[in-house]
Amino acid sequence: MATLQQDIATKFISALEEAKEVDSDKIEEIRKLLSDDKKIKADDFVKIFSTPAGGEVK
């Protein structure tokens, strides 16, 4: 049985995929971040969303 956190993460990722506003690479990074057992920090999300599509910040 999935935990409440896993259910929320699944719904969040599904909503991102349906919205089509976030590219698939970023969705995959978020999926990996949410599946890890380590504590998630806001900086982790900032790093994902502030990086331009397909590359590093120049």
The total number of structural domains that make up the chain: 1
- Domain annotation covers residue 55: no
Provide the residue range defining the domain that includes 24.
Answer: 4-50
- Domain annotation covers residue 20: yes
- Domain annotation covers residue 21: yes
CA distance 8 to 47: 21
3-state secondary structure at position 38: coil
- Domain annotation covers residue 40: yes
- Domain annotation covers residue 16: yes
- Per the CB < 8 A criterion, the answer to whether 27 and 45 are in contact is no
- Domain annotation covers residue 34: yes
0.85 surpassed by pTM = no
- Render each residue's pLDDT in the chain as its tens digit; 58 residues: 778 988 999 999 999 999 888 888 999 999 999 888 888 899 998 998 887 766 655 5
